[in-house]
Structure 1
Amino acid sequence: MQFQANIKRWWPALAIFLPMLACAQAQVAASSPEMVVRQALLAASPGLKIDSITPAPLPGFHQVIARGRMVYVRDDGRYMFDGRLVALAAPARDLSQPAWSAFRRQQLATIPAADRIIFAPVKPRYRVTVFTDVTCGFCRELHRHIAEINQLGIEVDYVAWPREGLLTTAGRPTPVATEMDDVWCATDRKATYEAALMRAEAPPAAHCASPVQRQYAVGTRIGVSGTPTIIAEDGRELGGYLAPQALLQALRNSGGGGR
């Protein structure tokens, strides 16, 4: 029952064995497996925004990314399971990760350098994208070590992910989203970000075509659920706060897009 509760939490209309899929499957029997999977999911959860459907490493299934989650749906649209797909042949491998990494790379590529807050050494060996929030304690601790991180050859690209979300229940911008809009619209974005993050100085009100909403949407699509979230250049999620040497080791272990 816990599994069913989890499914309902993130795809509210989608139940454990997708009982509505039989009807959808009959309607699309002559279609491609991808279309069968897509229409079956939409029949079970109308309005579901599906970001990716690709053949799974598991024969007879497709892997689906939607709302920051990955699931596996049988090609006939009758069954779905949620979780990692692991190959047990030694060494054991998480087969879900290559698709996630590719999807993260594709999504992060939509955020131009001009919309990021970048702290970089002269000749970076690695680059990470960090989803950040100016009210986040662990983001503050990470940035406290930014000089050391840069000295290790790591470029840090900050993008915005307000932890409170973008809108209150009343439909107004959340305070942190407003503050981050002001940071990202500031003339000196780096200095304003550091003042807001490290000294809790409210940024002056500023107005521009703020990229915060778009960055938040990208983070949500790739499964960001808190800050900081660190993504390597190869698309691997390295975790949350990492001390400088631990971050360097994680990048080396992952491949990390070293140059």
Structure 2
Amino acid sequence: MLKKLLLALCIGGLSLSACAAENDAAPIAAPAVTPAAQQMVRQAIHSLAANVQVDSIEPAPMPGFYQVIAAGQLLYVSTDGKYAMHGDVIDLSRKQNVSDDAWARFRKAELAKVPASERIVFAPPNPKYTVTVFTDVNCGFCRALHEHVAAFNKAGIAVEYLAWPREGVVTTAGRPTPTYTEMVSVWCAKDRKAAFTAAKEGRAPAPAACANPVKDEFELGVKLGVSGTPSIYGPDGRMLGGYVTPEQLLQALKQGG
């Protein structure tokens, strides 16, 4: 579904970037997202890929467009439904990527819906910062990142892991992927943190099954635009990178205020 949407955008020549320049004229008010406007935007998106889920429709930061998040992509759809753009919008007056702002708001809101009970948390007593990390227990960079977890905590950073098996949830044959099965066993372990760390060290957990959030967290990652692991998000929803050292992560968090 996601690939179909991207392919349609690329083939159709709709992949563009746009810039908003500062001038003396009063800004043109963004169009309200009425029920009719929402229906029009959804129809425009579904004309590219019929089954794509549209997660967010807002007024765009430039006139004449709506800002849309769908299938892990941020798009701009014209208010008449005739045009779409896929790319970044730069506010030249602020020298800031407003597309990143939109993603950050969306991710922050969606991540806030995940309860602490569904995360695997490594945190100091009084953290200064909290990051969310989509992770795969078998990826090399994820394992390298977890080796620093004590140092992250020492720096005042709480690390909250969500499951994102890179192989996906099911194979093309419809069977659970090996990594998904292993991550379910981790999330269903009596001591999740111990099982998680053991898996990161190459020691597979004892098989276990229970009601678990692994599939939901994988789908959430796709919705938020995750395409690889580790993917680290700050408390404001900003993407902070993949593998980083404690020093690099602390610096990125400080820059974000």
State the TM-score, normalized to the length of structure 1. Answer: 0.86
Consecutive aligned runs of 4 or more in structure 1 exceeding 6 Å deviation: none
1:174-232 CA-partner distances (Å, limit 9, x unpaired): 0000000000000000000000112x111101110111001001111000000100000
Equivalent position of 1:25 in the other structure: none
For 2:246 and 2:62, the matched residues in 1 are separated by 37
1:175-186 mapped onto 2 (5 Å cutoff):
175-186=178-189
For 1:48 and 1:70, the matched residues in 2 are separated by 13
Q: Tell me by how many angstroms 1:11 deviates.
A: 4.3
From 69, 75, 93, the equivalent of 1:71 is 75
Equivalent position of 2:12 in the other structure: 16
Equivalent position of 1:232 in the other structure: 234
Q: Tell me by how many angstroms 1:88 deviates.
A: 1.9
Q: Tell me by how many angstroms 1:92 deviates.
A: 1.3
Equivalent position of 2:164 in the other structure: 161
1:129 and 2:132 are equivalent in the alignment? yes
Q: Which moved more, 1:36-45 or 1:91-100?
A: 36-45
From 27, 31, 37, the equivalent of 1:33 is 37
Aligned length: 236
**Percent identity of equivalent pairs:** 52
1:50-199 mapped onto 2 (5 Å cutoff):
50-89=54-93, 91-198=94-201
1:97-145 CA-partner distances (Å, limit 9, x unpaired): 2211111012112211001110000000000000011101111111111
Equivalent position of 1:26 in the other structure: none
Any conservation in 2 of the 1:105–1:235 contact (CA below 8 Å)? yes
Equivalent position of 1:22 in the other structure: none
1:150-177 CA-partner distances (Å, limit 9, x unpaired): 0110000011000111111111000000
For 1:230 and 1:44, the matched residues in 2 are separated by 30
Aligned-partner residue type, residue 86 of structure 1: I
From 186, 207, 210, the equivalent of 2:209 is 207
Any conservation in 1 of the 2:5–2:48 contact (CA below 8 Å)? no
Equivalent position of 2:49 in the other structure: 45
Q: Tell me by how many angstroms 1:233 deviates.
A: 0.8
* Unmatched segments (≥5 aa) in structure 2: 15-33
1:79-104 CA-partner distances (Å, limit 9, x unpaired): 00100101123x41101122111110
Q: What SS class does the counterpart of residue 126 from structure 2 fall into? A: coil
Residue 42 to residue 213, structure 1, CA distance change in 2 (3 Å) = same
Q: Tell me by how many angstroms 1:34 deviates.
A: 3.0
Residue 42 to residue 186, structure 1, CA distance change in 2 (3 Å) = same
Q: What SS class does the counterpart of residue 142 from structure 1 fall into? A: helix
For 2:105 and 2:35, the matched residues in 1 are separated by 26
State the TM-score, normalized to the length of structure 2. Answer: 0.87
Q: What SS class does the counterpart of residue 63 from structure 1 fall into? A: strand
Any conservation in 2 of the 1:11–1:45 contact (CA below 8 Å)? no
State the Cα RMSD in Å: 1.8
Q: Tell me by how many angstroms 1:43 deviates.
A: 3.2
Q: Tell me by how many angstroms 1:47 deviates.
A: 1.8
